[in-house]
Structure 1
Amino acid sequence: MTEEEKINGESNYSASNIQVLEGLEAVRKRPAMYIGDISSKGLHHLVYEVVDNSIDEALAGYCDHIEVTINEDNSITVQDNGRGIPVDFHEKEQKSALEVVMTVLHAGGKFDKGSYKVSGGLHGVGVSCVNALSTHMTTQVFRNGKIYQQEYECGHPLYSVKEVGTTAITGTRQQFWPDATIFTETVYSYDILATRMRELAYLNAGIKITLTDLRVKEEDGSCKQEVFYSVEGLKEFVRYIDSSREHLVNDVIYINTEKQGTPVEVAIMYNTSYNENIHSYVNNINTIEGGTHLAGFRRALTRTLKKYAEDNKMLEKAKVEISGDDFREGLTAVISIKVAEPQFEGQTKTKLGNNEVMGAVDQAVGEALSYYLEEHPKEAKMIVDKVILAAQARVAARKARESVQRKSPMSGGGMPGKLADCSSKDPEECELFLVEGDSAGGSAKQGRNRTFQAILPLRGKILNVEKAMWHKAFESDEVNNIIQALGIRFGVDGEDSKEANIDKLRYKKVIIMTDADVDGSHIDTLIMTLFFRYFPQVIQQGYLYIATPPLYLCTKGKVKEYCWTDQQRQKFIDTYGGGSENAVHTQRYKGLGEMNPEQLWETTMNPENRMLKQVHLENAAEADYTFSMLMGEDVGPRRDFIEKNATYANIDA
């Protein structure tokens, strides 16, 4: 965009475009209502809210560079080269438009349809929410050749907007210090921010996002920095997600069009795996629960592929009925649409409800896929052959499930024999512990509260479903025991489907409890891979947890204390041993089986004392890439990952 176009844009974007919906008072009292939560997730959401404003400027055509900096004091700076927030007088509010944007909830240009056709941001609370949850915030606007500034404390302006200098650039610079009295975590993770910035760069081709961490110095003395920039957008995104899988077809089937007034961008790849990996976005928001755009995509894919296969008489020899699931096995796709007024619904408000979008995506994908198949008959045959194999495997999976249900020794109610169930039948209060090893399982059974805690011991490492054909999971005793115990079914009304049905889930807390060592971590990952690939709804709805048994029992005389970290252990030594390690007796727990039932209950199972880590699906595309890289066939990327992270991780904890 030229400077002249930018200036014209500035003249059309002024105080009259800023509409006020409601005040800011409740944000500090109930922060979780506005940003999701007050842990690490909410802390990082503050950055996303500010960056979303810059992305909106980019989508409107006025910005192509966003700089995000983690400062040495753990504050955040975000600067863009957009038009700059308007600073002229807002008639209704009787103050500068900049002050309105920064101090009034739901005030901003995105509510005025003339300013932004579409805008991102899941909660739509805007930068004023960030301001309210920061002890200090400084805003600088570069506009009209001048620098305007205002500072705030806990959302309250310290002075009126003032000119502090002149400039040749345009844009907005925000710096904020998150309030430690509100957030339980105040240290920013470079990797979490990098993941989101990478995603935004792929979703918005042509926008450069620079992430700098002033807290970390590289060997050459420079600060840690990455630049995220994508020329081809979703084509590069789908290749990144699929980079550790073997490609069935090397082409990316790419669609970038507008149908019925809705911009639709889709990238599709087929690989040799047995999973379906579709990642959908609306206005840069990851719609992890899908919605109408995903339904339109699936409908078009099934219809178009089936018609091509039938027209070319490719299904006659298969002698098996093809279902929608079969067309999506080994598929990786990213769907990104832009909607002026998205309607979100579902458990986590990340399911798109706009009905008009289904037809737009269906039409766009149907047309482009038909054209691709006709133009690439060799690749089309490979895809259809893969579909037929998937159908045959699905039938085998059904037979394996039925066979297992007939043969396996079940306790009352069709449950696995090894399951020690709880007496309560209310899923809301019931917990299932997936416990590594029979000895630890025995301790857990004795130590638990039998009213609401169930125990399922697992023998050894469960099947790595990342490398296995779909039906092989149902031939694995340990995997099948987990599925049976949870009450998960696949398909609805007897229909063959890979879609997990968790309507009859028997426990609303599923807790992975393994040893605090490398083997335990591997088992954690195997179980999480199973959940992510076979029944991700359990993760999406927040039902999956990891137990954290203590690493040490420290004693000095009659004083005993369990320690979960080396820092806690050192504190005990400093407090009771005068800093001398020899003055304190330390017992290192290598495995759960080393604890007696009372200790296991007291440290790891008692809801009043235990520490549970909830498994979040913060970024499904990144999780997809990570699971396929860590658990797949390709050794190279996994080795690089371990070498990069081993220095930071305590691999024995």
Structure 2
Amino acid sequence: MSEEQSKKGGYGADSIQALEGMEHVRMRPSMYIGDVGIRGLHHLVYEVVDNSIDEALAGHCDRIEVTILEGDGIRVSDNGRGIPVGLHAKEKVSALEVVMTKIGAGGKFDKDSYKVSGGLHGVGVSVVNALSRHLEAEVHREGKIWRQEYERGKTLYAVKEDGVSNENGTTVTFFPDPQIFDQLTYNYDTLAARMRELAYLNKGITVTIIDEREKDEEGNFKQNVFYSEEGLSEFVKFLDESREALIEEVIHIEGEKSGIPVEVAMIYNTSYAENLHSYVNNINTHEGGTHLSGFRRGLTGTLKKYAEESGMLDKLKFEIAGDDFREGLTAVVSVKVAEPQFEGQTKTKLGNREVNAPVSQAVSEMLTDYLEEHPKDARRIIEKVILAATARHAARKAREMVQRKNVLTGGGLPGKLADCSSKDPAESEVYLVEGDSAGGTAKQGRDRHFQAIMPLRGKILNVEKAMQHKIFENEEIKNIYTALGVRVGTEDDERALNLEKLRYHKIIIMCDADVDGSHIETLILTFFFRYMKELIEKGYVYIATPPLYQVKKGKRSEYAWNDDQRDRLIMDMKGSGSDSSVSVQRYKGLGEMNAEQLWDTTMNPEFRTLRQVQIENAMESDRTFSMLMGDEVAPRREFIEKNAKYANIDT
């Protein structure tokens, strides 16, 4: 079909609508991509890939390739129809130029071209163009190759014909602008996780990621090819691969309800964590929304009805809550909505009311059929629910004991906590320090005005393998709750975290730089991720980075945080001309430093380096914690072997 023959239902130049200009993009990039750090950098890739996924959703593309180039560039290719290149009636330039240079321009705003569309804000590739020092668009369409290049969003020349082609598709190559971004290095694993996710969410599409910055011993570039035949069923198996399954197979449904495409896959495992992931048009809705509410309603209502009719609840002396039905559940809910409305702090909460009932109905039908056809699995699920309810009842009592103790003792701060004098949470920080010895050094070295020290004795409980009431009975965890001033449980949600009386806005984990220290760090992070995730999401959790080495020569003394820094210091000191042999001290424990050294290197805000803990991908974080802290040995061994080069393995 030629550009001139474009008509309703086609995809031609007139399908492209320009909504507004690009003036503010470079001035206010965070409004469009979230931030100008590592997240925003990766968001550029997702925006371009979303265009290709839209073509796949419309049935015109089944291959997408993402390549990380030398020099911090990205190339995204697909075999879709190719962006239209004909003259745009309103803008009087090529439709390709409109797509690339007008904010909000694209076929996704034309209902006849795309029924549903990804891309969270619909900002699309034009924002990527504005925030790139250089971008090239290459279109294969109608037997020809078309090309246009841009610098910082401005065209270098008009769209030109550049050869012939018997294929269709679009290739976008861009280099992020160093004037905009704090850092320019792409993380392969972060991009690969999103590409894998997209392959599961869009079965039948091959998504390839290649890293041209790295070759193996045979000279091949690092790469992964993601393809899913079963979609969400495979996704759920992948998410749960390091957990012990409670039931024999994944429960799955796919179809349309009230005109809304709904796909759900779920499985129960023997863990105590609830692991739900929801998507709208491939967008991960971290804050949930009406589709997740519909899923929970359908799940709870159906399971409760079955449990009551089976007589299994007859001897239970207390009410079962919605949470109990979701303990040990891993589920993915995916819906496609023509005009999604997003709410919430990060615009990742679905607000469309009309989605709730169709999802609830789909889940109810799916579960009813499954429970009738699998009575053995049904019984296991209800037994798990009863166990969860019993544990929750015990946890409530344990939690009330912790919180009642706080009230009765007038604040009830743990005796080991050396508090700061400031009462302003915004300027106060608490160090969770491994061991009483290092805790004592930290107490001597700190600034008492705003720095509190909380020593932790030994390794805290592994919450990945513990029931909830055991967690509230654990002394070290109780001390963390009371020291921070947070409360657990509201009228609506027994697991919700109440941060109104949070006493510190910086919670800093400070452990030894050895294997034991890393293990304790991981145990604490697992606890925060499972039971205090809001603290991480609000940016309150940090990891201290004490130095690994002290390099000395004569009166000169310097610190090194990695092997490269150490080697450079040794070379520098050796070349300084003095006769004395350079000495190197490897710090394995915080206690090996005196108070002044600990302050200078690790606690002084002027010189220290704190790593803020962020959840880039909740799905990947969940898999990692369950794999590292769960019962399955094989995946953990494989992970450690793969990442050993990044770890400080003591010999």
TM-score, normalised relative to structure 2: 0.94
Counterpart contact for 1:268–1:333, Cα < 8 Å:
yes
Deviation of the 1:422 alpha carbon: 2.6
1:312 alignment partner in structure 2: 310
The residue type paired with residue 219 of structure 1 is E
1:518 aligns with 2:515: yes
Which residue pairs with 1:498 in the alignment? 495
CA contact (8 A) 1:9 1:83 kept: no
What is the CA–CA distance in structure 2 between the aligned matches of 1:407 and 1:555, rounded to whole Å? 50
SS of 1:172's partner is strand
Q: Is the 8 A contact 1:87 1:98 kept in 2?
A: yes
- Counterparts of 1:272-311 in structure 2, within 5 Å, are 272-311=270-309
3-state SS in 2 of match to 1:128: helix
Tell me which amino acid in the other structure corresponds to 2:294: G
SS of 2:501's equivalent? Answer: coil
Question: Structure 1 residue 190: deviation in Å?
Answer: 1.6
Distance in 1 (CA, whole Å) between partners of 2:425 and 2:264 is: 39
SS at match of 1:114: coil
1:549 to 546, 549, 569: 546
Residue 213 (structure 1) aligned to one of 211, 214, 227:
211
Q: Deviations over 1:230-257 (max 9, x none)?
A: 0111100001111111111022111212
Q: Indicate conservation of the 8 Å contact 2:290/2:352, yes or no.
A: yes
> Alignment partner of 2:463: what SS?
coil
1:87 positional shift: 0.6
- Say if 2:434 is the partner of 1:436: yes
Partner residue of 2:122? 124
Aligned to 2:528, which of 510, 528, 531? 531
CA pair 625-159 structure 1, distance change in 2 beyond 3 A: same
Mapped pair 1:384 → 2:374: no
Q: Shift in Å at residue 587 of structure 1?
A: 3.3
After the TM superposition, which residues 457-468 of structure 1 pair with which residues of structure 2 at under 5 Å, given as runs? Answer: 457-468=455-466
Structure 2 residue identity aligned to 1:554 = V
Cα 1:240/1:429, change in 2 over 3 Å: same
Is 2:514–2:648's contact at 8 Å kept on the other side of the alignment? no
Contact 2:202–2:231 (Cα < 8 Å) also in 1: yes
Question: How far 1:414 moved relative to its partner?
Answer: 2.3
Change (3 A) 1:227 1:9: farther
User: Residues 211, 10 of structure 1: CA spacing in aligned structure 2 closer, same or farther, 3 A cutoff?
Assistant: farther
Q: What is the CA deviation profile of residues 102-143 of structure 1, one whole-angstrom value per residue up to 9, with x for unaligned ones?
A: 122221111222222222122432111211222211110000
Query: Post-superposition shift, 1:561?
Result: 3.4
Supply the distance in 2 between the matched residues of 1:650 and 1:52 (Cα, whole angstroms).
Answer: 38
User: The residue matched to 1:473 in structure 2 has which SS?
Assistant: helix
Deviation readout 1:498-546 (Å, 9 max, x if unpaired)? 3333343332222111112222211111111111111222222222211
* Corresponding residue SS for 1:308: helix
3-state DSSP of counterpart to 2:597: helix
Please say which of residues 420-429 and 101-110 is displaced more in the overlay.
420-429
What is the alpha-carbon distance in structure 2 between the residues aligned to residue 267 and residue 161 of structure 1? Answer: 45
Match of 1:470 in 2: 468
2:204 equivalent to 1:168: no
Structure-1 separation of matches of 2:35 and 2:607: 22
2:567 is aligned with 1:570 = yes
TM-superposed CA distance for 1:366, in Å, is 1.7
1:463 CA drift (Å): 0.6
What amino acid is the match of 1:547?
Answer: A
CA 406–155 in structure 1, closer or farther in 2 if over 3 Å, else same = closer
Partner secondary structure for residue 543 of structure 2: strand
Amino acid at match of 1:514: C
Q: Secondary structure at the match of 2:437?
A: helix
**Residue 186 of structure 1 aligns with which residue?**
184
Q: Is there any run of 5+ residues in structure 2 with no aligned partner, and where?
A: none
Deviation at 1:47, TM superposition (A): 1.2
Task: State whether structure 2 residue 27 is matched by structure 1 residue 16.
Answer: no
Q: Secondary structure at 2:460's aligned position in 1?
A: coil
What residue identity is the alignment partner of 1:376? H
Is contact 1:573-1:580 (8 Å) kept? no
Question: Could you say which residue in structure 2 is the equivalent of 1:234?
Answer: 232
* 2:107 alignment counterpart: 109
1:355 alignment partner AA: R
Instruction: Tell whether the 8 Å contact from 1:433 to 1:512 is kept in structure 2 after alignment.
Output: yes
Between Structure 1 and Structure 2, how many residues are aligned? 648
Aligned pairs (5 A) from 1:16-415: 16-404=14-402, 412-415=410-413
Moved more, 560-569 or 611-620: 560-569
SS of aligned partner of 1:647 = helix
1:486 equivalenced with 2:459 (yes/no): no
SS at match of 2:333: strand
CA offsets 1:311-354 (integer angstroms, 9 cap, x no match): 22210022232111111111111111122222222232222222
Query: CA offset at residue 563 of structure 1?
Result: 2.5
User: Aligned pair in 2 of structure 1 residues 553, 219: CA closer, same or farther (>3 Å)?
Assistant: closer
Alpha-carbon spacing, 1:542–1:10, altered in 2? closer, same or farther (3 Å): farther
Q: In the superposition, relative to structure 1, how do residues 65 and 463 fare at CA in structure 2: closer, same or farther (>3 Å)?
A: same
- Give the CA deviation at 1:151: 1.1
Percent same amino acid at aligned positions?
A: 67
Q: CA separation in 1, counterparts of 2:15 and 2:530?
A: 45
Moved more, 454-463 or 9-18: 9-18
Secondary structure in structure 2 of the residue aligned to 1:12: coil
Give the whole-Å Cα distance in 2 for the aligned partners of 1:84 and 1:214: 25
Alpha-carbon separation, structure 1, partners of 2:321 and 2:201: 31
- 1:635 paired to 2:630: no
Relative to structure 1, the CA distance from residue 9 to residue 479 in structure 2 (aligned partners, 3 Å threshold; closer, same or farther) is farther
Shift of 1:564: 2.0
CA distance in 2, matches of 1:12, 1:339: 20
Q: TM-score, normalised by structure 1?
A: 0.94
Q: CA deviation at 1:48?
A: 1.1
Aligned-partner Cα distance in 1 for 2:409–2:217 = 60
Q: Per-residue deviation at 1:438?
A: 1.2
* Aligned-residue CA RMSD (Å): 2.5
- Could you tell me how far 1:598 is from its partner in structure 2? 2.8
Structure 1 gaps of 5+ residues are none
Tell me the alpha carbon deviations over residues 350-396 of structure 1, each in whole angstroms, 9 at most, x when there is no partner. 22222222222222212221222222222111110111111111111
Counterpart of 1:446?
A: 444
In structure 2, what residue type is equivalent to 1:207?
I
CA distance in 1, matches of 2:435, 2:112: 62
Q: Offset at 1:406? A: 6.1
Give the Å deviation of 1:556. 4.3
Q: Provide the C-alpha distance between the structure 2 equivalents of 1:384 and 1:482, rounded to a whole number of angstroms.
A: 34
